[in-house]
Structure 1
Amino acid sequence: MPLVSPFPVDPLVDGRQSERALLVRRGVQRLMTARRVALLPEMPLASGRRADLICLSEKGEFSIVEIKTSIEDFRVDKKWPDYRQHCDRLYFATHPGVPAEIFPPTCGLIVSDGYAAEILRDAPEEKLAAATRKALMLRFARLSADRLLQAEWAANPFMTSPQTEL
Structure 2
Amino acid sequence: MDDAQLQPGQLLARGVARYLRRNDFACLEEFVPRRGLRTDVYALGPGGEIWVVECKSSRADYLSDQKWQGYLEFCDRFFWAVDGDFPQDLLPAETGLIIADSYDAEILRMGPETKLAPARRKKLTLKFARDGARRLQGYRDPGVPALTGPEA
With normalisation by structure 2, the TM-score equals 0.87
Tell me the distance in 1 between the aligned counterparts of 2:133 and 2:101.
30
Report what 2:149 is aligned to: none
Report what 2:11 is aligned to: 23
Alignment of 1:111-130 (within 5 A): 111-130=99-118
Query: Looking at both structures, which has the greater relative contact order when contacts are Cα pairs under 8 Å and sequence separation is at least 6?
Result: 1
Structure 1 segments of 4+ aligned residues over 2 angstroms from their partners: none
**Count, aligned residues:** 141
Shift, 1:18, TM fit: 5.5
The letter for the 2-side match of 1:64 is: V
The letter for the 2-side match of 1:39 is: C
Secondary structure of 1:45's counterpart equals strand
Provide the alpha-carbon RMSD of the alignment.
1.6
CA deviations 1:43-91 (Å, max 9, x no partner) are: 1112531111100000000000011111111112111000000000000
Secondary structure of 1:83's counterpart equals helix
The letter for the 1-side match of 2:102 is: G
Report what 2:62 is aligned to: 74
Shift, 1:104, TM fit: 0.5
Shift, 1:113, TM fit: 2.0
Secondary structure of 2:140's counterpart equals helix
Report what 2:28 is aligned to: 40
Tell me the distance in 1 between the aligned counterparts of 2:6 and 2:27.
19
What 5-or-longer segments of structure 1 have no aligned partner? 1-9, 11-16, 155-159, 162-166
Shift, 1:97, TM fit: 1.7
User: For structure 1, which segment, 142-151 or 92-101, has the greater mean C-alpha deviation from structure 2 after superposition?
Assistant: 92-101
CA deviations 1:74-123 (Å, max 9, x no partner) are: 11211100000000000000111211111111110001121111111011
1:132 paired to 2:140: no
Secondary structure of 2:141's counterpart equals helix
Percent identical among aligned pairs is: 40
Larger radius of gyration: 1
User: For structure 1, which segment, 87-96 or 43-52, has the greater mean C-alpha deviation from structure 2 after superposition?
Assistant: 43-52
With normalisation by structure 1, the TM-score equals 0.80
